[in-house]
Structure 1
Amino acid sequence: MEFLAGGRAEVRITRADVGKRVSVRRRTGGGPGEAAFTDAVGVLTSWEQGVLSITRRSGECVRIEESSLVAAKVVPTRRPTTTPQGASRPFWMAPARRRVPAAGTRELQQVAARGWPAVETERLGEWTLRASGGFTRRANSVLPLGDPGLPLDEALERVERWYGDRGLPAVIVVATGRADTDEELAAELAGRGWRDEAHTRVLISALAPLADTAADTARVTLSREAGAQWLALYNRTGDAPTDQARAVLTGGPSVWFATVRGAEGGTAAIGRLVVDGRWAGFAALEVDPALRRQGLATLVMAALAERALDEGASAAYLQVEADNAGALAFYERLGFSDHHGYHYRRALPGGRD
């Protein structure tokens, strides 16, 4: 890894580079049998209180003390060359650009959880209990990624008590539809009277082709914050977004908010992106009902895809409710394909039916 500039190592990144792909070298102490330095490459996702967080393509987050830095630089993005919408591509480029990424269900569950992080979490074995004041099911449900460390009935009692203490319903998200999903847990919960709701599909795609779907992305404004104009069109926070809602929306490794202004100054379209290693997660895509069917949703997706490519991502994912036929058709036209499904199981008052 080459860090030398003018014959000496330099730290050539600052806090302004958060969100960029970087390469860093740090001291490790160099004890017996230990290398004196170690390197890390990934997206600089935060730099706070003297500690850098770097998210690798695998999703692993590395925390580095600022005082241990020896050298660092921004890594130029090796972005695939884009072509105008509708133009033909060289035959050697198309397969790699359009190949749907291989991914396990657990990987996607973990990435999605980091990309829509709960305000409060607690571990129960390999389960994670999540609460965020009731803002969205995803941030207020149990993520079960293995054994809870207790017999199931005891674990469920703990879950119900934990959520009850917070004035929230007990809800567990269950992945289905593949060999590596939670069909057995879904059956166990159904047998105990936990009601199913909000069936959802997880879709994935190669990222680079999304950036080619619209040309005039300069119309899209990208920001690190969900400003008043963005929130004006987002329909899930109510008139006054709570602190919990803002924390979830702005949480994640590297978050961007897209806004398109209308001709009369209002908000025409919005979207949210979170970049986590190789994955780019898309959410909160909304278009003013009076301005639909003008390509604004495609424009937002393309602008966010360009941003994600610049940060080194290569794969895209998103979540769509299974009964939203219009959205599913739209994303299919953009090149997304089905990966797995999930739904929520809610404990009914009074226990089993």
Structure 2
Amino acid sequence: MADRAPATGRPEVRLNPSDVGRRVSVRRIAELVDGRPVFRDVIGVLASWDENGLAVVPRSGEPVVFPEELLVAGKPVPPFPARRAPQPAADPVELQRTAARGWPAVEQERLGAWVLRASAGFTRRANSVQALGDPGRPLARALDEVRAWYAARSLPAYVEVLEPGSPGDLAAELARLGAGQAETLFRTAPLAPLARAAAASHGRVRLSRTADARWMSRYRRVSADTAVERAAAEVLHGGPSVWFATVPDPDGGAPLAIGRAVVDGPWAGFSAIEVDPSARRSGLGTAVMAVLAARAAEEGASGAYLQVEAENAGAIALYDGLGFTTSHTYHYARLPER
């Protein structure tokens, strides 16, 4: 970066607003003591640079915000060097609950130990009852209440079934009712190998705490229904620590690739990995996931997970190459309407 023109006329500043979304190291004047400046350094994602100054998000997640005139030095730096660590131990029930926190429905209501979830129809994950444990009433009655709850919201009634985890007789009862089922794979991997791949491509990928209009323009689940779009924005931005990745189009169009990760303790959940059809097979999907993984590792995660429909052979092949294996499978069963 030695030949990069500084943004401020100060040779120590090797940054400008085009670096927003990159991992950077900056030095700033934090305070004056007896008329002398006290300098502080911060390493993290450059979240913004505008008339309000700069915001850098360090590992702690709390943004450091300061006026541009206090910037003393700065430069882009490589992704966090993820240390080799074992994949966290977790059983399928725990993983399903972790994934639910990382993709939180707009509306949630308890039915015993089950959780009814609705989000205006945006994804089955956010519009199904997570049927883990005991619903606290006879199974037939519980399913009637599920059907009524979703009917009141003009939504189909989907049941998320995990064996073991859901009541032992749930699958048989759903089959008796004629509920069609769709299989989903829950896949996991150690995070460090994926994060280490970020070094080769971090210059192209930008990170953000929000999914802006350009990011959404690439997301294949966009809808003309404003209620669905509002629900999508709420679900996408929900979760303990959410990051969005973008590979910008150099011509100013929709991003060439996007992705999302949510960090929840030792786990990082990946979703919304999308690549423009004209840019596929060029490594952009891997690049997006690697940079997100590096950020998740910086926040302390050591395991990665994702959910993929069993018939999505292309995505499964990509994830196979990144070290993901199937932890377990679960099903969405749609209750017939009465």
CA distance in 2, matches of 1:20, 1:245: 27
Alignment of 1:96-135 (within 5 A): 96-97=84-85, 99-135=86-122
Please say if 1:236 is aligned against 2:221: yes
Amino acid corresponding to residue 154 of structure 1 in structure 2: R
Alignment of 1:157-176 (within 5 A): 157-176=144-163
CA 1:225 to 1:145, structure 2 compared with 1: closer, same or farther past 3 Å? same
Task: Give the equivalent residue in structure 1 for 2:132.
Answer: 145
CA distance in 1, matches of 2:129, 2:116: 5
Secondary structure at the aligned position of 1:188 is classed as: helix
Please say if 1:211 is aligned against 2:195: yes
Task: For residue 347 of structure 1, report the CA deviation from its aligned partner.
Answer: 1.1
Moved over 6 A (4+): 16-19
Query: Identity of counterpart residues, as a percentage?
Result: 55
Please say if 1:333 is aligned against 2:294: no
Match of 1:254 among 227, 241, 244: 241
Task: For residue 263 of structure 1, report the CA deviation from its aligned partner.
Answer: 3.0
CA distance in 2, matches of 1:111, 1:20: 21
CA distance in 1, matches of 2:287, 2:160: 32
CA 1:291 to 1:247, structure 2 compared with 1: closer, same or farther past 3 Å? same
Task: Give the equivalent residue in structure 2 for 1:276.
Answer: 264
Amino acid corresponding to residue 208 of structure 2 in structure 1: S
Alignment of 1:36-115 (within 5 A): 81=81, 96-97=84-85, 99-115=86-102
Confirm or deny: 8 A CA contact 1:256 1:272 kept in the other structure: yes
Unaligned runs of 5+ in 1: 1-15, 22-42, 46-78, 83-92
Task: Give the equivalent residue in structure 2 for 1:62.
Answer: none
Amino acid corresponding to residue 272 of structure 1 in structure 2: R
Q: Given the two structures, how large is their TM-score scaled by the length of structure 1?
A: 0.70
CA 1:80 to 1:230, structure 2 compared with 1: closer, same or farther past 3 Å? closer
Amino acid corresponding to residue 322 of structure 2 in structure 1: L
Confirm or deny: 8 A CA contact 1:104 1:180 kept in the other structure: no
Pairs aligned (count) = 266
CA distance in 2, matches of 1:144, 1:184: 12
Task: Give the equivalent residue in structure 2 for 1:306.
Answer: 294
Task: For residue 160 of structure 1, report the CA deviation from its aligned partner.
Answer: 0.8
CA 1:205 to 1:183, structure 2 compared with 1: closer, same or farther past 3 Å? farther
Q: Deviations over 1:201-254 (max 9, x none)?
A: 010011111012241212111111110110010010224662111101111111
Task: For residue 187 of structure 1, report the CA deviation from its aligned partner.
Answer: 2.2
Task: For residue 101 of structure 1, report the CA deviation from its aligned partner.
Answer: 3.3
Task: Give the equivalent residue in structure 2 for 1:49.
Answer: none
CA 1:131 to 1:193, structure 2 compared with 1: closer, same or farther past 3 Å? same
Match of 1:287 among 247, 266, 275: 275
Unaligned runs of 5+ in 2: 1-54, 64-78
CA distance in 1, matches of 2:301, 2:129: 28
Amino acid corresponding to residue 162 of structure 1 in structure 2: W
Q: Deviations over 1:21-49 (max 9, x none)?
A: 4xxxxxxxxxxxxxxxxxxxxx779xxxx
Amino acid corresponding to residue 188 of structure 2 in structure 1: I
Amino acid corresponding to residue 171 of structure 2 in structure 1: A
